[in-house]
A and B are shown apart, each in its own frame.
Chain A
Amino acid sequence: MILIYCELTENGQIADVSLELCTKGRSLATQLGTGLEALVCGNQLKDIEKQLYPFGVDQVLKADDARLFPYRTLPHFALLSQVVKERKPDVVLMGATCVGRDLAPRIASHLRCGLTADCTSLEIGSYEDKSKNKQYDNILYQIRPAFGGNIIATIVNPETRPQMATVREGVMKKEILDQNYKGSCIQLDASKYLKKEDEAVRIIAREIEQRKINIKNASIIVSGGYGVGSRENFEMLHQLAQVLGGEVGATRAAVDAGFAEGDRQIGQTGVTVRPKLYIACGISGAVQHRAGMDQSGKIISINTDPEAPINAIADYTIIGDVCKVVPQLIACYNKNKK
């Protein structure tokens, strides 16, 4: 069985990242010939299971208790770890969000099982351990870029269960399987799972902010890398984005250098985007970056280096200095726009 740990939005809906994982989980479960279950922990969940069935969830496990919303590590840990022990899923998938990245490792530590963070792809396959001369079938391939150069690692947990992975929002596609998909729902009695010690950390204030930066849904993204050179030069990218009606994205190198805010980071450990147009300015095109943008409709690369890897996936390449090309783009656009 495959289990999805579902997160809730501020207004009590199932978060997109969890629905995306349900879609992925459904196709993996079908391939394995097994069921798909989803755990939802929250408060006043009403008939939240109805949001999940259309994604092909066979069984929703629902824990409804005031102690479960907003999210806190220990109460959710108590529920998820017990549910995993009771139901023994082969695979547990969670969002690589502030919640999933807080909860998943604690669960994996408790169950002494493997966990792979920020997967960019999940598949089913076999694994042969040559040293033990052992063959394992129906193993979850947890695929993610690996550190150093353009390499992708396929990671497996042959011996331990469940096989756990986290995935960022936007990496998997959210797709309704069948509006009338028939699933069932089990109500869990939260008080059976929660102990007094789970209240060790108390939330005394919460300031929820609408995300100021929303590059996920932008149809045009002007993205800058380390080659842009400075925060001041990044201003030009903001100007270009503004005239085109787009948003500004960045690489991790640009974020680390302080040229742009962390929320703008695109890539394996940032946001995944699929805009109509992606303008990569001073970006080399490391595999971790490409993982977040290579599904873009059209890609323009502006780079002084004709050999930069990003050029290989670009539809248009301009070999030149960002500081010269970007102002020219703005000027030409203002001249040509309808």
Chain B
Amino acid sequence: MNYQIVVLIKQVPDTQNVGPDAMNADGTVNRAALPAIFNPEDLKALEMALQIKEQYPGSVITVLTMGPERASAIIRDALSRGADRGIIISDARFAGSDTLATSYALACAIRKIGEFDMVLGGRQAIDGDTAQVGPQVAEKLDLPQITYAERLLELNGKHIVLTRRLDNGVETVEAELPVLVTVTASAPDCRYPHAHLLLKNAKAQAEIWNADAIRPEIERLGLKGSPTKVKKIDNVVLAHKEGVQVECSEAGINGLVMTLVQDHIIG
């Protein structure tokens, strides 16, 4: 048994390392000034795919992303970790996509890739934390969805068993393929790139598909296909409290603790 697996990945600004030039003067994000990384939970999804391929070596892993051509960096990374094929869908007509338009474009691209047994992706991307694209792709492809997946327990013919990590515990579910699975942060970490694959893929170019290649209804793409509009962006002006500056010394801290005890806030 071999499996055809599509893994959805995204290049995201590293929100942990936001510097002072991360913002443009008009309040929009200066993406160019942010280091770009492989979205962490997408790496976990890739690992799940690699585990399947390890068990069923004839399986084929295609990684798919929507983004600018510089997203080649994460495609190369995925190939070096063991993915077989990398595709970027990239077109000015995708600009301004919200999650609905994004999931539509991704679903069109997945249809073009052809037969598949499962679509995997990270639960959410760190630049938005919305967790919307996975379920929306599933709906568009009319696939059952299994979100918050943590561990793959069993894959046997068309039968898959997974655990899900939820707010209040762990659930084990089974389904028949094809399905869409989103993988959560507590899933196993992704293996490192192989040295020989790194070398081999150092200059690899991803396949780049434009909007026409995925045969969409054009009005469902980009800004036009996005029902959510940003009405305004406000800078938050901090209501400055008249706070007390406590001297950083034993006496200062002791004074603070005494005040808090007196005010019945602690003690």
A residues with a Cβ closer than 8 A to B are 10, 70, 73-74, 97-98, 101-106, 108-110, 112-118, 127, 129, 141-142, 146-160, 200-209, 211, 220, 226, 244, 253, 256-257, 262, 268-269, 276-277, 287, 297-298, 300, 309, 311-320, 324-325, 328-329, 332-333, 335-338
Contact = CB atoms under 8 A, between A and B. Distances in A.
B234 interface: yes
Contact of B250 (A106, A114, A148, A332): A332
Given A277-B266, A332-B254, A155 B171 contact: no
25 contacts: A73-B144, A102-B145, A105-B134, A114-B226, A115-B132, A118-B130, A148-B13, A152-B233, A154-B230, A154-B233, A156-B229, A200-B176, A201-B174, A204-B172, A206-B169, A206-B172, A244-B266, A257-B16, A312-B241, A316-B256, A317-B244, A329-B253, A332-B254, A336-B258, A337-B267
B260 A109 contact: no
B229 A313 contact: no
Contacts of B134: 105
B7 to A, nearest CB: 19
B132 A117 contact: yes
Interface residues of B, number: 79
Interface string B224-259: 001111111111101111011110101011101110
B235 A150 contact: yes
A110 B243 contact: no
B22 A149 contact: yes
Contact of A106 (B135, B229, B253): B135
A263 B27 CA distance: 31
B138 interface: yes
B140 A109 contact: yes
B154 to A, nearest CB: 10
Nearest to A96: B131
Interface in B30-52: 30, 40
B99 interface: yes
Nearest to B144: A200
B169 A108 contact: no
B103 interface: yes
Q: B interface, by DSSP: helix, strand, loop or mixed? A: mixed
A115 B33 CA distance: 28
- Looking at A70, A253, A268, A333, the one whose CB has the most chain B CB atoms below 10 A away is A333
B146 interface: yes
A108 B245 contact: no
Contacts of A320: 248
Contact of A147 (B15, B226, B253, B254): B15
Contact of A157 (B30, B170, B229, B253): B229
Nearest to B168: A208
Contact of B135 (A102, A141, A207): A102
A328 B250 contact: yes
A207 B243 contact: no
Contacts of A325: 248, 253
Contacts of A115: 99-100, 132, 228
A256 B16 CA distance: 9
A336 B29 contact: no
Contact of A109 (B136, B147, B176, B239): B136
A331 B245 CA distance: 20
B63 to A, nearest CB: 22
B128 A156 contact: no
A153 B230 contact: yes
Given A73-B144, A112-B100, A114-B100, 4 more contacts: A101-B147, A106-B145, A110-B139, A244-B266
B113 interface: no
A74 B99 contact: no
A46 to B, nearest CB: 22
- Looking at A155, A253, A329, A332, the one whose CB has the most chain B CB atoms below 10 A away is A332
A98 B243 contact: no
Contacts of B256: 300, 316, 318, 332
